[in-house]
Structure 1
Amino acid sequence: MRKKWYAGAVVTALSVSLLAGCGSNDPKGSASPEAGQASESASSAAPDGGAKLGGKVTIYSPNQAEINNPILKEFQTRTGIEVELISGGTGELLKRVQAEESNPLGDVFFGGGAESLAAYGQYFEVYETKEAANIGDAYKDSANHFTPFSALPMIIMYNKDLVKEGEEPQGWQDLLDPKWKGKIAFADPAKSGSSFTQIVTFLSAFGRDDGKGWEFVKSFLDNLDGKMLSGSSMVYKGVADKEFTLGVTLEEAALRNLEGGANVGIIYPAEGTSAVPDGLAVIKGAKNMENAKAFVDFAVSKDVQDMLQKEFKRRPVRTDATETQGIPASKDIKLVDYDFDWASQNKDEVIKKFTRIVTGQDK
């Protein structure tokens, strides 16, 4: 709910064009035949089945292009609403929303960890999606400042060409082993929402209130050997490209690289992990308010949520969505006691303390 400026966002105006389906494993945005059949029957209607809405909507998003492009193009096809996409990191885009408070230039924030969105809740409209009854209560924001989109377990990704079989780390504690010094990919939590979630996951696993969690963070940073990355996408790309041996990243990022042919493995940490959702939020005072709400409803509609795991390797938040296949069931993943409210309320202080540790001011 409190932050400052922005820098270097990339603006892309997506042309209105037919897309056979709202999901794709192809980073260029091509779609599956199954999705195409569904698209043809719905392309002349708005998300709720009504007439096309028209107009435009401006979306701020830190999501990867392979997720945004097919979803946004399908939304255009179904609604006739022209989408303008502004891409950037979670932190920089949230600061942009704050800077534009008196004259909002965006309509929707799409992506970013839920606790990051909650921390900026004062800049978002209170909106309860029409699909709320079908979304799991564990993922919802009681204040309705954001709508959850997908559940995102944090994992350790490793390159199988660089780690001998049987020597894989089994949990977070193993990341402190000197043999991994300088070989771990990790993003700056001041710039990456997912990295902030990872820091709070560490604190939750090792002791948030007794100082032991921060002791782990200090040792972990020492083992990074100064190699902290400026964006979360650099983590999984770095591991897949053998620039790093290990990386702390999202399950879906590792799964997409695995399916894409990268020789990587996934570890669900023995101490437990988090599965905090990312989300969507309607920007307060949005100039295209109804179109913004229509996009939120579309993103959590059943057909989009059914495709999350198959097409994007993400876990849906709808209770009636298609079950995940080929990965551990959510109930089988050990989770830490992640206090979402604490994370959102203490985001500023956590990042400040982290920065003090990095700069040597907090020893």
Structure 2
Amino acid sequence: MKSRALTTIGAAAAALALALTGCASDAGDAGGATGDKLSAVMYSSNNETVIGVVTDAAAAHDPAVKVEAVTGSSGPLLERIASESGAPAADVFYSAPAATFEAFADYVEPYLSPEAAAIPEELIDPDHRWTAANAHVVAFMVNTNQIDGGKAPKSWAELTKPEWKGKVIAPNPEQSTTGFTALYGAYKVLGKEDFEKLVANLELTESTSNVYPAVAQGEYAVSIGYESNIYPYIAGEQAGIEMVYPEDGTFVEHDSVLLVKGGPNADGGKALIDVILSKKAQEENLAQSFRRPVRTDIDVASIVDFKALDDLNVVDIHGDDDTQGRADFTEYWKSL
């Protein structure tokens, strides 16, 4: 099973003196450029592997760069940026879907990285407030050992059948971006009547992280989530685990990065965004955390066994009608 690590995380990160902290006052003490050194404070909702890739890449780019990472969920971290706007402590936020940023646009400093030249124009905010850093693709994680006959479902339509009731776990869309992306998309594909049949079959969880081990451990036959979180089980060659892109439509969500307005280390923040969007860092994130890159100059299939987006039936969930569509779906979901 293809899964190629391009470098070893650890040594460079140690040399970089990464600080994982939840303390705003510690973050604020990072300081700006001093002599030949640059600092940057990054608020991040990403896991340790992704953060390690970024800090390793920053160290390789310039060993003098010091990065401090403050970790947490995206919503609270963005709220923190808003609350700190009088005296910002962060330089960079990485990452969340662009739609999430709109409510926090007043706290963003526009910045167009030179690395954005390799990123499709539609993934860059027209006002350069944020830029997509990676793509998430919705897929089913299937444990065929938990299915009579061992045949994985291939479509959303198949999961509406009564025999799947109680066998499928999904994140609650009111609590999870992953859940919202998948189920809003499924609603568009299925229509109201069949979507309600799907919902009747689902077991919902408040935490996205629960859905993958629940299938791996045989508690459920199918989970709905992102390929990047399913693929570790595929790469690990766990018996009976398959990843299925639904034939009647899958959906893509992009996580973006932004520069915080008035951050203490503007130059360091810009340098860090350049690193995050660089080819090297995006290849590393693909190899080590299975985050699909958005750059057009990376051969995804040479690093992991992901299908090309052109080979999938991708249904657009970001069209002109989807801003209202998402709001309507939120109210509809509450009524179920």
Instruction: Indicate the TM-score class for this superposition, using the shorter chain for normalisation.
Output: 0.7 to 0.9
Residue aligning to 1:185: 169
Q: Residues 72 and 153 of structure 1: is their aligned pair in 2 closer, same or farther, counting only changes over 3 Å?
A: same
Shift of 1:75: 1.8
Q: Residues 59 and 341 of structure 1: is their aligned pair in 2 closer, same or farther, counting only changes over 3 Å?
A: farther
Greater length-normalized contact order (CA 8 Å, ≥ 6 residues apart)? 2
**Structure 2 gap segments, 5+ residues each:** 17-33
Shift of 1:88: 2.4
Q: Residues 282 and 158 of structure 1: is their aligned pair in 2 closer, same or farther, counting only changes over 3 Å?
A: same
Contact 1:187/1:230 (8 A) holds in 2: yes
**CA separation in 2, counterparts of 1:216 and 1:89?**
33
Residue aligning to 1:35: 7
Q: Residues 99 and 261 of structure 1: is their aligned pair in 2 closer, same or farther, counting only changes over 3 Å?
A: farther
- Write the mapping of 1:251-270 to structure 2, written as runs, cut at 5 A: 251-263=227-239, 264-270=241-247
Letter in 2 for 1:223: N
Residue aligning to 1:223: 201
- Write the mapping of 1:85-100 to structure 2, written as runs, cut at 5 A: 85-100=69-84
**CA separation in 1, counterparts of 2:162 and 2:35?**
59
**CA separation in 1, counterparts of 2:197 and 2:320?**
26
Shift of 1:126: 1.6
Q: Residues 231 and 315 of structure 1: is their aligned pair in 2 closer, same or farther, counting only changes over 3 Å?
A: same
CA RMSD of aligned residues (A): 3.1
Q: Residues 153 and 53 of structure 1: is their aligned pair in 2 closer, same or farther, counting only changes over 3 Å?
A: farther
Residue aligning to 2:253: 276
Residue aligning to 1:285: 262
Letter in 1 for 2:205: L
Residue aligning to 1:18: none
Residues 301-352 of structure 1: per-residue CA shift (max 9 Å, x gap): 1212233433332322112123424332221011113225555576566445
**CA separation in 2, counterparts of 1:100 and 1:343?**
31
Contact 2:136/2:252 (8 A) holds in 1: yes
- Write the mapping of 1:93-132 to structure 2, written as runs, cut at 5 A: 93-118=77-102, 120-132=104-116
SS, match of residue 225 in structure 2: strand
- Which residue, 120, 138, 144 being the options, matches 1:160? 144
Q: Residues 184 and 121 of structure 1: is their aligned pair in 2 closer, same or farther, counting only changes over 3 Å?
A: farther
SS, match of residue 324 in structure 1: helix
Shift of 1:142: 2.1
Q: Residues 185 and 87 of structure 1: is their aligned pair in 2 closer, same or farther, counting only changes over 3 Å?
A: farther
Letter in 2 for 1:329: A
Residue aligning to 1:195: 179
- Which residue, 274, 282, 287 being the options, matches 1:297? 274
Q: Residues 94 and 159 of structure 1: is their aligned pair in 2 closer, same or farther, counting only changes over 3 Å?
A: farther
TM-score by length of 1: 0.74
Shift of 1:117: 3.2
Q: Residues 103 and 243 of structure 1: is their aligned pair in 2 closer, same or farther, counting only changes over 3 Å?
A: farther
Residues 174-223 of structure 1: per-residue CA shift (max 9 Å, x gap): 222333323322223333222222233223323xxxxx34x555443332
**CA separation in 1, counterparts of 2:172 and 2:285?**
27
Q: Residues 150 and 219 of structure 1: is their aligned pair in 2 closer, same or farther, counting only changes over 3 Å?
A: same
**CA separation in 1, counterparts of 2:39 and 2:164?**
48
Shift of 1:66: 2.1
1:68 paired with 2:51, answer yes
Residue aligning to 1:151: 135
Letter in 1 for 2:49: E
Q: Residues 182 and 52 of structure 1: is their aligned pair in 2 closer, same or farther, counting only changes over 3 Å?
A: farther
Contact 2:57/2:275 (8 A) holds in 1: no
SS, match of residue 146 in structure 2: coil
Contact 2:144/2:151 (8 A) holds in 1: no
**CA separation in 2, counterparts of 1:233 and 1:117?**
23
Contact 1:116/1:344 (8 A) holds in 2: no
- Which residue, 204, 227, 238 being the options, matches 2:214? 238
Higher helix share: 2
**Structure 1 gap segments, 5+ residues each:** 1-24, 26-30, 45-50, 207-211, 357-361
Shift of 1:92: 3.1
Letter in 2 for 1:160: T
Letter in 2 for 1:104: P
Shift of 1:77: 5.3
TM-score by length of 2: 0.79
Letter in 2 for 1:281: L
1:332 paired with 2:316, answer no
Residue aligning to 1:17: none
Give percent identity, aligned residues only. Answer: 26
Shift of 1:135: 0.9
1:249 paired with 2:221, answer no
Contact 1:113/1:197 (8 A) holds in 2: no
